[in-house]
Structure 1
Amino acid sequence: MNIAILGYGVVGSGVDHIITTRGQNKHHVTKVWSRPNPKKQIPHLVSTIKEIINDESIDCVVETLNGIEPAHEHILACLNAGKHVISANKAVIAKYYEEFQAAAKKNDVQFKFEASVGGGIPWLKELGRAKRIDTITSCSGILNGTSNYILSTMTKEQADFEAVLKDAQALGFAEANPSADIDGFDVLNKIMITANVGFNGRVQAEDFLVCSMRPVTASDIQYFKNKGYTLKYLGQVEAENQQYEGSVMINACLEDSLEANTNQNYNCATLQGDTIGTLTFYGQGAGQFPTAHAIVQDLLDLESDRPQVNQELQDFTFHAKTKNNFWIRTNQQIPEKFIAGQDNQYSQLMPMNLIEFKENLLPLLKKEDLVVRMPL
C-alpha cells in the first residue's frame, strides 16, 4: 500500500518512522506534503497537494495538519479522488464529520480517525464496538494530555497554574498559545466526536457548558483535597431518547477514582452501556508515537477490511435534566436564592441543571472565578 502524509510535524514524522521501521515492506510512504522546514530534512517532499491527489498509485492519505483549513479542503479532495483518508485532526473532524463520512461513502473509500480522540487509546474503536450491542448512555473522561499534566503537576508540587504552564511550554507539553487545551476547545471537539460515534447523534458546540481551567490555584486544589477530592478537567456527554447534555469543566473526583489517579499526559475515557456497564480505557493520550500508533492501527484495519463503525447521524436536541452540585469561588455578588452553603471564599450552589447554571450564574461570573462540579 502506498501512502502519502500531509504534514510532517511531530505526528506526521512519527507515522513515517513507524511505517518505515515496522511496515514489513507492505506499506510505503511515497509522498509528503508539508511546509518546508530548514531544520528538518523531509523525505519524499512534494511542492503541491495536487501531486498527491492526482497520483493514482497512492492508496491512502494520512492527514496530520492542525486546524480547519486547508485540512478540510485537502481531506475532501483526497476522498473524492478515491483515496482512503486517516486523520488525527479533531478540530476539522468535529466540524465536518458528516461531510467526510458522506464523501467516503460516495467514493467507496474509508475515512478513519481513531487518533483524533484519546491519542494511543483505542477509544473510538471500542466505543463503536460497544454500541453494536448496547445503548450508550454516557461518555466522559480526561481527554487532554496538556491540561492533565498541568493539574497533576500542580497537585503533586503544590504549584500555581502560571508557573506549571510555563514549565509545560518549556518541556513541549503545551503550545505557545495554550488556549485550545486549557480553555476547553480541544476537549469539546473530542467529546463532540465521541457523541457522533457513541450516540450517532448530531450535537452542537454552543449547547455545551465549557469552563476554562485557568482560574484554578494551588489553594483551590488543596481545599478540595482536604475534602477527599482531586481536581480534574473532564469532558462529559449524556444522551437518552435523542436528547443530550454535556460539559467541559473542572470536576472534583473522589481521590480513589481512576480519574483522580490518571496523571501526567495520560488519558482516561469511560462509557456507560446498558449491558456492559462501566467500561474505562486508560493510556497515553498525547505524544508523537502514541498518536502515530493509533494512525498506523487504522492503516492496518484498512488492509484487513475492518471499516470503522459509523452510521448516519440523527438530530439530537439539547435537554439539561441532570441536577449538578456546583461549587464556585468568586468575589461577585451571587443572589442568596442560588446559594446552598458557604465555606470561606467557596460557595456551594443549589442543585441545578446546565441550562439553569448557564442562564442564571454564568453571566455573573468573571474570567478569574472558579467553577467546580462535585458529585451529588
Structure 2
Amino acid sequence: TNPARPLVAVVGGAKISDKIKLIENLIDKADGIIICGGMAYTFLKQCFGMQIGKSLFDKKGADIVQGILDKAKAKGCEVTLPVDWLCGQEFKNDQETKLATREEGIPDGWEGMDCGPKSMELFANTVKAAKTVVWNGPAGVFEFDNFSKGTKALLDAVAGLHASGGVGIIGGGDSATAAAKWDMEDKVSFVSTGGGASLELLEGKVLPGIAALTDAPPKWEGTVTGKYQWDDSKKKNTDADKDMGSAGDAITKYSWGDGKKQVSIYIELDGLDDCTEDMFQASSGEKDVSLTIAKVAGRRRTFSLKDLAHEIDGVKVNHKKGKGMVVLKLTKKEEQPWFKLQESSGSG
C-alpha cells in the first residue's frame, strides 16, 4: 500500500555515517525530511559554513552531506534543518545555557544540546502539514530534562498528527525510549522498539506496521525484536526461544524503555491479539518480574526477569490489542534512570 501524502521523515541522532542508508532510502520515498539532533551540525558546518562551537561533528559524514542535499533536491524532497539551539558548555543537565541562532552560530566552547523554540515551531508545522510521519532519532539530549523540550515537542507533534487521523510512526531506538519516558507509546500510530533492527527495516526492508514505506507486500511471521523469527519454511531460527519447560515455552526475547516513573518491558508475539485479559497473569518481587500467558497460538508462554537493576514497587499488564504486543509496566521504587548515559551519545 502507498502512504498517505505528504510523507515526512524525521531523522535525528548523532552520526550521519551511521544512518546514510536510512536517509537515502527515506529521501527516495518521502516528500520532506527533517534532519535534527547531533547530525544536523555536520550539515550546517559543511554545507552552510555555520560555526558550531564544540558541537558534534561527524568527520566521516562530512564527505557525504552535500551529496545527500543534492539528492534530496533532485528527488523533490524538501530538507528542513534546525534554525536555533539551546547550548551548554558541559555535557550535563544543570548548567548555564545560551540560545544560539543559525545566523550568529554557536560560540567557541559551547555545544548545541537541544533545538530552540523557532526550530520546535518549524518542525511542528512541518509535521502538522503531513499525512504520514516516520521518526527515528531524537532532536536533542532528551535524557537531560533541561535539554528535552525539542524531542518532547516533536513527540507531541507526531501524537497530534495521529490524533487528527494521520499516521505517526516511531522507528525504534532512542525515539522509542523517548515515547516511553513520557508514557506516550499509545499516543502515536506505531512504535517499533527494535533499535538497530528498526534502522535496517527503515533502510528498505519490510516492517509490520510500516508497510506504507514500501510498495512490496509485507512478508513476515514476526519481527526481529520481541517476536519470534521464522525462515521461509516456517521453522524457528536457532536464536529464538530455545528454553522449554513444564511451565510452558519460555519467552526469551523482549525490548524495554526507560521512563521517569516506570520501566516498560515490550513483548511481541504472533497470536497476542486473540488473547483475552484474563489470560495474562503477572507477578513481581523487589527485583524480579514474571508473566504467564495462559494460551497464545495454542501454547502456554512464560516470561521471567530476575536480578533487576533497581527495586520495583509492582507491575501492571497493558495488552495492546491490534499491535500483537503486551507491555509490562514496572513501577520504579525510586525515580532514577535504569541506563548509564554515555557521553558519546551526544544529541542522539
Q: Give the TM-score normalised by structure 2.
A: 0.36
* Larger relative contact order, structure 1 or 2 (CA cutoff 8 Å, min sep 6): 1
The structure with the greater share of residues assigned to helix is 1
Q: Give the TM-score normalised by structure 1.
A: 0.34
